[in-house]
Each structure stands twice: as structure tokens, then as C-alpha cells.
């Protein structure tokens, strides 16, 4: 996770399977006039605890305490080439009650930034899920 986080958060296009159009990359970079503005965004991977003593672990445990009671319909739509997600889908499906019996899917041909690789497919999956919960 730590290694993936370093790579992925340094360059958005490293989290995709497809090559991003230069205009799309420019849009991702637009809020950051220079490298110094990226320091906050680069802290995001550190917010994912990978050991019980990590600084973010207590907040993560509190979040799980809420998620484990969540009866709201919950969908997992992971991609087949998001190497940073690890066992995330299985864990979410097992621990969140609202995930039971839902039409979870794996979106093929996509990396971490599913919206860039397979945006229309992700939109369809989400739309169908929303309509199935009415």
C-alpha cells in the first residue's frame, strides 16, 4: 500500500490503465500551481492505516464501528487492475450489513481511477444500483 500510494499520488496517470489525454491531466493539475501545493494531497495515502499503531488507526476503527451497523444499501464496484485496493472489496462486503445481497461488480480494464478508464461503465453500474434500491 505505501509503495503504491507514493506512485499513484505523485502522478494521476499511474493509477489508470489507459493513457490520459494531456488536457485531462492538466485539469487534474489545475488546482496546484506548483509542487508545493501538492503536499496536502500527497498525505492522503498516509490516512489509510496499514498497522494498528498508525496515526490514523483510531479514527479508522471509529469509522468501522459505524460502517458495521450500516443497513443502507451499499455497492462495491472495484476494478480488476487497482493494485492498491488489495482485499478491500471482500472486507467491505463482509463487514457492512447493507452490502449483503447487492449486485457488486468488478469493472474490467480499469485501474484505481475507474472514472478515467471506464467512466461510462461505472456510471451505468451506479445508475442501475440506485434504481434497484427504489
Q: What is the DSSP string of 42-109?
A: GGGGGGS-SSTTSTTHHHHHHHHHHHTT--S----EEETT-TTSTTHHHHHHHH-GGGTT---EEETT
Of 2-6, 9-13, 37-41, 92-96, least confident by mean pLDDT is 2-6
Number of domains comprising the chain: 1
What pLDDT, in 10s, does the model give residues 80-92?
999 888 899 999 9
Interacting residues of 82 by C-beta distance below 8 A, sequence separation 6+: 15, 110, 111, 112, 114
Residue-wise over 43-78: b if at least 16 C-beta within 10 A, else e?
A: eebeeebeeeeeeeeeeeeeeeeeeeeeeeebbbbb
Mean pLDDT of 102-127: 95
- Residues 117, 81: Cα–Cα separation, whole Å: 10
CATH of residue 122: 3.40.50.1820
Write down the pLDDT at residue 9.
46
* Residue 58 structural domain: 2-132
Write down the pLDDT at residue 57.
93
Q: Which residue has the higher pLDDT, 1 or 74?
A: 74
What pLDDT, in 10s, does the model give residues 48-104?
888 999 988 999 999 999 999 999 999 999 999 998 888 999 999 999 999 999 989
Q: How many CB atoms lie within 10 A of CB 8?
A: 21
Mean pLDDT of 5-31: 78
Amino acid at each position: 500500500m505505501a509503495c503504491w500510494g507514493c506512485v499513484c499520488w505523485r502522478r494521476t496517470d499511474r493509477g489508470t490503465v489507459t493513457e490520459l489525454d494531456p488536457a485531462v491531466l492538466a485539469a487534474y493539475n489545475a488546482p496546484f500551481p506548483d509542487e508545493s501545493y501538492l503536499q496536502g494531497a500527497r498525505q492522503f495515502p498516509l490516512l489509510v492505516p496499514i498497522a494498528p499503531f498508525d496515526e490514523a488507526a483510531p479514527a479508522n476503527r471509529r469509522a468501522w464501528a459505524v460502517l458495521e451497523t450500516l443497513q443502507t444499501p451499499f455497492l462495491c464496484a472495484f476494478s480488476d487492475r487497482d493494485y492498491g485496493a488489495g482485499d478491500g472489496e471482500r472486507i467491505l462486503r463482509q463487514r457492512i450489513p447493507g452490502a449483503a445481497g447487492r449486485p457488486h461488480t468488478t469493472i474490467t480494464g480499469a485501474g484505481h481511477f475507474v472514472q478515467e478508464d471506464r467512466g461510462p461503465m461505472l456510471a451505468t453500474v451506479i445508475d442501475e444500483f440506485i434504481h434497484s434500491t427504489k
